[in-house]
Structure 1
Amino acid sequence: MSYLDATQDLYKNAALTPDVGLCCTTTPIWQLPGLSIPKRMQEMNYGCGSTVNPRDLLNNPAILYVGVGGGMELLQFSYFNRQPGGVIGVDVVPEMLQASRDNFQLAEEENDWFKSEFVDLRQGDALNLPLEDETVDVAAQNCLFNIFKTEDLKKALAEMYRVLKPHGRLVLSDPICDGGMPAQLQEDARLRALCLSGSLPLQAYLDAITEVGFGTVEVRARRPYRVLAPGQYDTSELIFIESVEVCAIKDPMPEDGPCIFTGKTAIYYGDQEYFDDHKGHVLLQNQPLAVCDKTAAALASLGKEDLLITNSTFFYDGGGCC
């Protein structure tokens, strides 16, 4: 059985019978005024983080969510676009689409503002999305792309890039593993379907995103996720897996490469009112400025004793410069 077949079988069963322990989401569920999430939706929250961030969702954006799960994030996205078909949900598993439809009926009972028609559910493949070019403002996936092997991951990312409008946002949450994943686990179809053994090192994950053309990438969160222990899995060493939340923006690619924000900050603490590197970066005295990794490296290379560059926090929430 191929890993894609194993994935469809796993999530068909998870649609028919909610599997609360299937994933371990470490991000708290958004508590928004007037939003009630049915218990069954929460039980079918098969992700490793969250892709819903209010600052991505201004002005009724057209939203695409791939891999619908039990519909929880579709409901959350609908909170920000209450128009018929304002949110599109795509899934390859018919049973999962039906589970979402059923859950939307529960959501209508608990939320007087919500209507199932706000969500356009479509059966489709992440590798060949059933959407026209440049038609959505925000695209998202949660713990789906981690399943794909390298060539399929490239196709899935390229498809998201294709359907996004210029400056549109791709919001992702996936497991990562900087310690490396043993080959025998990578080839285990069930472990890959469980969003475990497909975990890439963070840098390889970011490279895959920028290689399809995203000019700006924000690493918004990085949290512990799972441990694969000897005796429980086919490994001789303890494997630590984290989850990461990333926003990739369809900005033009800068000539000197993508702007990747991992939570680094520059602080000028010299005697002058400000420091100007004459490359577009002005740092006010003792005022932290968020900078992308590329700018952080360029500033550090100046060797200024009154300029501090902090390490990556892997938490970036906007602002700063590139």
Structure 2
Amino acid sequence: MKVRFEKVKPMNMYLSVTHDLYREAALDPQQGLCCTTTPLWRLPGLSAPPRMLQMNYGCGSTVDPRDLAGEPSILYVGVGGGLEVLQFSYFARRKGAVVGLDVVDEMLEACDANLREAEKDNTWFERDFVDLRKGDALGLPIDNETIDVAAQNCLFNIFHDHELQQALREMYRVLKPRGRLILSDPVCDTSMPEKLKKDERLRALCLTGALPLADYIKRLTDIGFGTIEVRARRPYRVLSPRHYETAELIRIESVEVAAIKDPMPADGPCVFTGKTAIYHGDEDFFDDGAGHVLKQNQPLAVCDKTAAALTRRGSDEIYVSESTFFYDGGGCC
């Protein structure tokens, strides 16, 4: 299968900086260039070529079996060396099941070469499983509501506000109802100095475009995603006054999030940040009258809205945990 090269509108200055950076990274792989490399999933029969592993430019993982049941159509934006499109293909083994987009010609060519190498080492994999196309996150060449799972890894932090809003709208547009947008990006709850925020090379390196997590989540819910799952949050980078123009140490974390195209609840989005409620009263269960039943001394994952409502009751019979920023499904909202 040939890589599709389609016309893409001209980039502005900061995207041009990013384009040049990743053009160089495609021609000369640099392990850990911008992000903490995430290991290949350990799955039967799955292996990746060394060059593909060297080009693992992402701050987390967007591949999770829980999102990939059935025969999903998958869109991955910003293909890098092809590691994640290969892993997505493991769960979607049919022609064109995974669409991989990138705006950098050299990255598409490198990804194509890596996938052809992967075909030699993985008996289950066929190159035609992945449809590589040239495409811009701000104008996806994908029809409305045709994608089950869309993903991006360490991409959205390079955008400024209005571009980020447009990119999220595009992802929302192409997803089917109840489709999932899986994201991995840096976040930072410390105020980023304006000079660092405006340094386009540092932004392209996934360092200074990081948003506070609450702001990041709000961007998703403002677009219309009714359910947000924060699945992981971990240390990622430190910007030290020794090396960067900042008066204080800035700690950056990476976050893995699933935004689900559910209908928006009347009382606002359901955001899961890893909170748990446990009933420890005298009865066999506790029913709050709003659809939440807690069994005696059994942990129940709850969204932040439910956690707040249970806390407001002031009961000494219900323990509600702080956010752990780890959520693996289940519970109630």
Q: Which residue pairs with 2:248 in the alignment? A: 237
Q: Which residue pairs with 1:197 in the alignment? A: 208
Q: Which residue pairs with 1:267 in the alignment? A: 278
Q: Which residue pairs with 2:232 in the alignment? A: 221
Instruction: Kindly provide the CA deviation profile for residues 150-199 of structure 1, in whole angstroms up to 9, marking residues without a partner as x.
Output: 11111111100000000000000000001121111000010001011000
Q: Which residue pairs with 1:90 in the alignment? A: 101
How far does residue 29 in structure 1 lie from its aligned partner after superposition?
Answer: 2.6
How far does residue 279 in structure 1 lie from its aligned partner after superposition?
Answer: 0.3
Instruction: Give, in whole Å, the separation in 1 of the partners of 2:185 and 2:331.
Output: 25
Specify the code of the residue in structure 2 equivalent to 1:44: M
How far does residue 25 in structure 1 lie from its aligned partner after superposition?
Answer: 2.3
How far does residue 221 in structure 1 lie from its aligned partner after superposition?
Answer: 0.2
Q: How many residues align?
A: 322
How far does residue 15 in structure 1 lie from its aligned partner after superposition?
Answer: 0.6
Q: Is contact 2:35–2:206 with CA below 8 Å preserved after alignment?
A: no
Instruction: Give, in whole Å, the separation in 1 of the partners of 2:303 and 2:40.
Output: 28
Report the CA distance shift for 1:26/1:101 in structure 2 as closer, same or farther (over 3 A): closer
Instruction: Give, in whole Å, the separation in 1 of the partners of 2:239 and 2:277.
Output: 37
How do residues 107-256 of structure 1 correspond to structure 2 at under 5 angstroms? Answer: 107-256=118-267
Instruction: Give, in whole Å, the separation in 2 of the partners of 1:12 and 1:231.
Output: 29
How far does residue 216 in structure 1 lie from its aligned partner after superposition?
Answer: 0.2
How far does residue 109 in structure 1 lie from its aligned partner after superposition?
Answer: 1.0
Instruction: Give, in whole Å, the separation in 1 of the partners of 2:125 and 2:39.
Output: 22
How far does residue 27 in structure 1 lie from its aligned partner after superposition?
Answer: 4.0
Instruction: Give, in whole Å, the separation in 1 of the partners of 2:259 and 2:32.
Output: 29
1:31 pairs with 38, 42, 47, which one? 42
How far does residue 236 in structure 1 lie from its aligned partner after superposition?
Answer: 1.4
Q: Is contact 2:186–2:254 with CA below 8 Å preserved after alignment?
A: yes
Q: Is contact 1:26–1:223 with CA below 8 Å preserved after alignment?
A: no
How far does residue 231 in structure 1 lie from its aligned partner after superposition?
Answer: 2.4
1:76 pairs with 67, 70, 87, which one? 87
Instruction: Give, in whole Å, the separation in 1 of the partners of 2:38 and 2:274.
Output: 18
Specify the code of the residue in structure 1 equivalent to 2:201: R
- Displaced runs of 4+ in structure 1, greater than 6 A? none
Q: Which residue pairs with 2:6 in the alignment? A: none
2:323 pairs with 1:308: no
Q: Is contact 1:26–1:225 with CA below 8 Å preserved after alignment?
A: no
Instruction: Give, in whole Å, the separation in 1 of the partners of 2:285 and 2:30.
Output: 55
How do residues 9-88 of structure 1 correspond to structure 2 at under 5 angstroms? Answer: 9-25=20-36, 27-88=38-99
Q: Is contact 1:220–1:246 with CA below 8 Å preserved after alignment?
A: yes
Q: Which residue pairs with 1:103 in the alignment? A: 114
Instruction: Give, in whole Å, the separation in 1 of the partners of 2:183 and 2:31.
Output: 21
Instruction: Give, in whole Å, the separation in 1 of the partners of 2:37 and 2:256.
Output: 11
Instruction: Give, in whole Å, the separation in 2 of the partners of 1:194 and 1:23.
Output: 5
Q: Secondary structure at the match of 2:88?
A: helix
Instruction: Kindly provide the CA deviation profile for residues 226-282 of structure 1, in whole angstroms up to 9, marking residues without a partner as x.
Output: 011112111111110000000010000001110000000010000001000000000
Q: Is contact 2:38–2:58 with CA below 8 Å preserved after alignment?
A: no
Percent identity of paired positions between Structure 1 and Structure 2: 68
Q: Is contact 2:73–2:146 with CA below 8 Å preserved after alignment?
A: yes
Instruction: Give, in whole Å, the separation in 1 of the partners of 2:37 and 2:81.
Output: 17
User: What runs of 5+ residues in structure 1 fail to find an aligned partner?
Assistant: none
Q: Secondary structure at the match of 1:79?
A: helix
Instruction: Give, in whole Å, the separation in 1 of the partners of 2:117 and 2:37.
Output: 25
TM-score, structure 2 normalization: 0.95
Specify the code of the residue in structure 1 equivalent to 2:320: I
Instruction: Kindly provide the CA deviation profile for residues 100-137 of structure 1, in whole angstroms up to 9, marking residues without a partner as x.
Output: 11001110111111111100011010000000000010
Instruction: Give, in whole Å, the separation in 1 of the partners of 2:208 and 2:329.
Output: 31
Instruction: Kindly provide the CA deviation profile for residues 267-317 of structure 1, in whole angstroms up to 9, marking residues without a partner as x.
Output: 000000100000000000100100000110011101111111000000000
User: What runs of 5+ residues in structure 2 fail to find an aligned partner?
Assistant: 1-11
Q: Secondary structure at the match of 2:186?
A: strand
Q: Secondary structure at the match of 1:266?
A: strand
2:287 pairs with 1:276: yes
Q: Is contact 2:37–2:58 with CA below 8 Å preserved after alignment?
A: no
